[in-house]
Amino acid sequence: MAGRPAKTPQRLKFVEVFEGNAAEAARLCAFKHPTIVGPRLLKVPWIAEAIRAREIKEVRPLIASRQGRQKFWSEVMQDTKNKMPDRLKASELLGKSEADFTENLKVNVSGSLADDIKRGREQVAHAGNIGGGEATKE
């Protein structure tokens, strides 16, 4: 396989049948060692790109975009014919998608991370020696 691997019918079929499991796709294409060949095929640039292109063409239109979800939640929330729990849930999901419920915390840290790690290790070591003797596993 020197250079760019050829577009054989078997490799083209691999692109066609791949649905997330490389070994299974390779098995369906009758490769001799599917658990080895499948993952290797995913590393071939033209195969990886062909799978990405196929997924964009076939799958992406089926998945709602962020804007599509927000439009849907807004419509549910604003439609007075919907039950109040449904409208409230849509409102909550819309708010979460816009990060309306996040808290901004300001933290001031002084000293160095190395000092903090050293103190933490000392505390753990001290906690293991409570009672006088050395810490032991039982």
Of 14 and 3, the structure prediction assigns the larger pLDDT to: 14
Q: How confident is the model at residue 99 (pLDDT cuts 50, 70, 90)?
A: confident
More confident residue, 20 or 60: 20
CA-based nearest residue to 64, from 53, 73, 54: 73
Question: In this structure, is the dihedral angle defined by the CA atoms of residues 106, 111, 116 and 117, taken in order, positive or negative?
Answer: positive
Report in angstroms the alpha-carbon separations of 117 from 28, 50, 112, 126, 134.
52, 47, 9, 14, 22
Q: What is the pLDDT of residues 42-98, one digit of tens each?
A: 999 999 999 999 888 876 677 777 888 889 989 999 999 999 999 999 999 988 888
Q: Are 51 and 18 in contact (CB under 8 A)?
A: yes
121 confidence band (pLDDT: 50, 70, 90): confident
Identify the DSSP state of 83: -
pLDDT, position 1 = 46
Res 3: pLDDT: 61
pLDDT of the residue at 127: 73
Separation between Cα atoms, residue 51 and residue 36, nearest integer Å: 18
Higher pLDDT, 26 or 118: 26
User: Which structure tokens are listed for 112?
Assistant: 């160095």
Give the integer Cα–Cα distance in Å for 31 and 14. Answer: 10
Q: What is the pTM of this model?
A: 0.44
Residue 135 has pLDDT above 50, yes or no: no
Neighbours of 65 (CB within 10 A): 10
Q: How many residues does the chain have?
A: 138
**With contact defined as beta carbons under 8 Å apart, do 20 and 52 qualify?**
no
- Is residue 128 scored above 80 in pLDDT? no
Task: Return the residue matching tokens 């709602």.
Answer: 64
As a whole number of angstroms, the distance between CA 113 and CA 93 comes to 38
Give the mean pLDDT of 110-137: 71
* pLDDT tens by residue, 103-119: 777 767 677 888 888 88
